[in-house]
Amino acid sequence: MMHSNEPLFQNNGNTCGLCCTKIKNLSVTYGNTEILNDINLHIHCGELTALIGPNGAGKSTLLKAMLGEIKHSGKMEFQDMKGINTGHPLIGYVPQHLDFDKSSPISVLDLFTSCLTNSPVWLFKQKRIRRQTENSLKIVQGEHLINKRLGNLSGGELQRVMLALALVPLPDLLLLDEPVSGIDQKGLELFYDIVCDLRKNYDMSVILVSHDLNLVAKHADRIVLLNKTIQAVGTPQEVLNNEDLSKVFGNIWFKYPENKKEEEE
């Protein structure tokens, strides 16, 4: 989860589709074991790119390399809408789980305050931080959660809180590492709807790691099939109907929604 003291962003309701995050020749090796080999991707703004592959394919490793958390070769570049290379993109990150003491009295507002300021949360809470928290939670339909204890949140509510925190400040690139694992169907669908709105309304690039091929088929703009190297890249229909999918996953079943575009409209 990214955090900053900068003001919360404003929604302009427009997408340009021109910004691009470029991953070039990225490889990761642990000892003599090659985890990722020569990954090259262009991630465009306003698109949701789903990263799929079997267990051990390197999906989470790729996200951690993009975050700079693990040693890797290759590089990542960000190009703005004017075609200017501005260096490394600003990244927001939502992990699969947040480990914390559920008996702790810390609230959602306390979490935001601790991440967005250097002030002790038990002394005072700045009005500016509360406004930032309220605005960010509103985007994920969670403004009513601001005073709720973290330990009392449902799985879906907690993931939306972490998503809201990852949006301060507005990132160029949002990374989601299986963020709906263990969430009920209603919470899962709400989370996906919110993420799809983010990429459309805020011109945001989103990379989502997921094992749910039906939801990926419904919501993703592009799919990357990964198994240490990139096996296929394309639209959901292109990748999910690709014979390489069965080679990577084995026997699978999914239903590709023929009316995907109609559903979005």
Same domain membership, residue 68 and residue 185: yes
- Whether residue 159 has pLDDT greater than 80: yes
Same domain membership, residue 181 and residue 155: no
Same domain membership, residue 176 and residue 86: yes
DSSP class of residue 112? H
- Band (pLDDT 50/70/90 cuts) for residue 81 is low
Same domain membership, residue 61 and residue 39: yes
Same domain membership, residue 184 and residue 162: no
- Least-confidence region, from 69-73, 119-123, 179-183, 260-264: 260-264
Count of all residues that appear for the chain in the document = 265
Same domain membership, residue 183 and residue 243: yes
Which one of 143, 169, 195 terminates a domain? 169
Averaged pLDDT for residues 57-82:
90
- Band (pLDDT 50/70/90 cuts) for residue 72 is very high
Considering the domain boundaries, does residue 116 fall inside one? yes
- Whether residue 178 has pLDDT greater than 80: yes
- Whether residue 17 has pLDDT greater than 80: no
Range(s) of the domain holding residue 228: 21-90+171-265
Per-residue tokens: 178: 């299986």
| Nearest Cα residue to 146 out of 134, 156, 154, 136 | 134
CA angle 133, 64, 232 (to 5 degrees): 110
Considering the domain boundaries, does residue 113 fall inside one? yes
Same domain membership, residue 261 and residue 185: yes
Considering the domain boundaries, does residue 16 fall inside one? no
How many Å apart are CA 160 and CA 145, to the nearest integer? 10
Q: Burial letters for 187-221: b for 16+ Cβ neighbours within 10 Å, e otherwise? A: bbbbbbebbbebbbebbbbbbbbbebbebbbbbbb
Residue with the bigger pLDDT between 254 and 141: it is: 141
Total of domains in the chain: 2
Query: How high is the pLDDT of residue 123?
Result: 62
- Band (pLDDT 50/70/90 cuts) for residue 242 is confident
Considering the domain boundaries, does residue 50 fall inside one? yes
Distances in Å between the Cα of 186 and the Cα atoms of 93, 155, 157, 265 are 22, 11, 11, 21
Query: How high is the pLDDT of residue 175?
Result: 96
Query: How high is the pLDDT of residue 88?
Result: 76
Averaged pLDDT for residues 20-46:
92
Considering the domain boundaries, does residue 2 fall inside one? no
Same domain membership, residue 207 and residue 141: no
Averaged pLDDT for residues 125-129:
79
Residue with the bigger pLDDT between 248 and 47: it is: 47
Same domain membership, residue 197 and residue 104: no
- Band (pLDDT 50/70/90 cuts) for residue 258 is low
How many Å apart are CA 128 and CA 192, to the nearest integer? 29
Query: How high is the pLDDT of residue 102?
Result: 85
- Band (pLDDT 50/70/90 cuts) for residue 145 is very high
Averaged pLDDT for residues 237-245:
83
Considering the domain boundaries, does residue 12 fall inside one? no
Considering the domain boundaries, does residue 26 fall inside one? yes
In the sheet that 20-30 helps form, which strands lie side by side, from edge to edge?
33-44, 20-30, 73-79, 85-87
Same domain membership, residue 129 and residue 33: no
- Whether residue 177 has pLDDT greater than 80: yes
Which one of 140, 169, 198 terminates a domain? 169
- Whether residue 9 has pLDDT greater than 50: no
- Least-confidence region, from 16-30, 78-92, 205-219: 78-92
How many Å apart are CA 40 and CA 176, to the nearest integer? 19
Which one of 146, 169, 192 terminates a domain? 169
